[in-house]
């Protein structure tokens, strides 16, 4: 791995964790905790993205230990973002947002079994409440758990994809060209 | 406890939650949670008890909302073990000692760099994010109102943060290259933490204990 990609990884992890300040300021029900993973993958490919995702989970675990089992979701996110970057789905918001919605479905399908079997669907307050709502609507326990994860992941991943697409387009071409996948991700190569 | 080898601390913090999930509930969870809270309550670490209790409390509340008392107790004890173990680990594990231990063990300098650089980059970027939020508010950015308005505000807050962070990658790359940090390079640790035989035995013992418990549970 080159020194540039090595330097990118801690910065991308820090981006994922620092964005919570921006989310808090606008008071939207978003996490944006996969932004660094998706951005690093779009810039440098899924291997770097997986490293960022694993490291994000590890650092998050020091703050809240329930994050560690969800490292699998970060890996899936990196693989999906790698596919999206190779297919140039970050070329505009019109392609990035649907791709993000697709990731929302996949991420909630991945996180549901972990959340259900490891934590009884109580990973965060918001997810627990939406799971309780799903239960009140008559869904079976696993279905209610998926409902909770889906409600939180669906919009979050779409906004994250849109944000990453905005960042990639705002990057000067000379800077983007220093990363192996950046120009292809926005359909400029 | 801080004098223990970092790998021993990691092994204990990993083994307790693993055993909490493997051993039959609620007795297994009760035993592991008891050990984890005893470690947290040991001399010099009592300040960690409250954060662990506070962090685990919402889980019990939400579990009760979704499950019966028996399931709440079983999962609640497992989560309490996990939270207490990691709060204890965060209190006793010094990142620089862990880096030295990995380098002394012959691990790649890349892994050591990634861990140390991430831990230092996160608070720096969080502070910058707060400054950007304040600066944009001073310029009249309103992060309230409709969802569309909030999303526009989010873009105005997030883009400067992410772009400035990406520009920093250039500086870090130059610094890494100037220091000769290339894949395959080996570094000599200045003060490697001592790894006593008894600690190595404890680590292997914990691994065997987890495997034995798993085999017994599955059989």
DSSP symbols for B50-68: HHHHHHHHHHHHHHHHHS-
**Higher per-residue confidence, B51 vs A171:** A171
Write out residues 87-126 of B within 8 Å (CB-CB) of A. 87, 89-90, 110, 113-115, 117-122, 124-126
- End-to-end Cα distance, chain A: 22
- Characterise B144 by phi-psi region: left (phi > 0), alpha (psi -120 to 50), beta (else): beta
Give per-residue pLDDT as tens, A80-134.
999 999 999 999 999 999 999 999 999 989 988 888 888 777 766 667 777 778 8
**Domain coordinates in residue numbering, chain B:** 6-96+194-218, 107-178
Nearest CA in chain B to A136: B66
CATH number of domain containing A68: 1.10.1760
Of A8, A22, A62, nearest to B154 by CB-CB distance is A22
What is the number of structural domains in chain A? Answer: 1
Is residue A42 within 8 Å of A81, Cβ to Cβ?
Answer: yes
Pairwise CA distance, residues B9 & B196, whole Å: 13
- pLDDT value, residue A70: 87
pLDDT of residue A125: 60
- B127 to chain A: closest CA residue: A18
In whole angstroms, give the CA distance from residue B31 to residue A43: 47
Q: ipTM value, please give it.
A: 0.87
Q: Do B158 and A55 touch (CB under 8 A)?
A: no
CB-facing half-sphere around the CA of A131: CA atoms within 13 A: 26
The model's pTM? 0.82
- In terms of residue numbers, what domain contains A19? 3-185
The reported pLDDT for the residue numbered A106 is 93
- B73 close to A (CB below 8 A): no
Residues of chain B with pLDDT under 70: 43-49, 51-53, 55-56, 182-185
Q: DSSP letter for A69, please.
A: G
């Amino acid at each position: 791995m080159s020194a540039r990609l090595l330097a990118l990884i801690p910065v991308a992890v820090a981006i994922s964790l620092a964005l919570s300040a921006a989310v808090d300021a606008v008071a939207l029900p978003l996490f944006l905790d996969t932004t660094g993973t998706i951005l690093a993958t779009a810039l440098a490919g899924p291997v770097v993205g997986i490293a960022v995702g694993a490291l994000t989970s590890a650092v998050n675990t020091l703050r809240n230990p329930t994050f560690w089992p969800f490292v699998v979701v970060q890996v899936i996110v990196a693989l999906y973002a790698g596919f999206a970057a190779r297919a140039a789905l970050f070329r505009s918001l019109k392609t990035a947002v649907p791709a993000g919605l697709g990731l929302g479905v996949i991420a909630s399908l991945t996180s549901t079994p972990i959340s259900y079997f490891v934590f009884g669907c109580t990973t965060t307050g918001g997810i627990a409440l939406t799971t309780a709502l799903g239960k009140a609507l008559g869904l079976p326990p696993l279905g209610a758990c998926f409902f909770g994860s889906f409600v939180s992941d669906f919009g979050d991943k779409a906004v994250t994809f849109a944000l990453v697409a905005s960042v990639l387009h705002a990057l000067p071409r000379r800077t983007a060209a220093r990363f192996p996948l950046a120009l292809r991700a926005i359909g400029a190569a | 406890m801080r004098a223990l080898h970092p790998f021993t601390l990691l092994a204990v913090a990993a083994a307790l939650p693993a055993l909490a999930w493997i051993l039959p509930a609620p007795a297994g969870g009760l035993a592991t949670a008891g050990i984890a809270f005893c470690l947290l309550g040991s001399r010099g670490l009592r300040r960690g008890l409250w954060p662990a209790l506070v962090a685990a409390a919402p889980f019990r509340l939400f579990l009760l909302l979704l499950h019966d008392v028996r399931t709440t107790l079983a999962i609640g004890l497992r989560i309490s073990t996990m939270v207490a173990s990691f709060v204890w680990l965060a209190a006793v594990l010094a990142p620089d000692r862990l880096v030295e231990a990995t380098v002394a063990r012959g691990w790649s300098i890349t892994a050591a760099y990634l861990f140390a650089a991430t831990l230092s980059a996160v608070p720096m970027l969080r502070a910058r994010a707060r400054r950007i939020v304040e600066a944009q508010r001073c310029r009249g950015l309103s992060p309230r109102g409709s969802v569309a308005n909030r999303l526009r505000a989010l873009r105005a807050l997030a883009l400067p943060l992410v772009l400035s962070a990406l520009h920093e990658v250039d500086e870090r790359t130059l610094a890494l290259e100037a220091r000769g940090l290339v894949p395959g390079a080996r570094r000599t640790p200045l003060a490697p933490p001592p790894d006593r035989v008894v600690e190595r035995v404890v680590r292997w013992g914990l691994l065997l204990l987890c495997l034995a418990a798993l085999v017994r549970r599955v059989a």
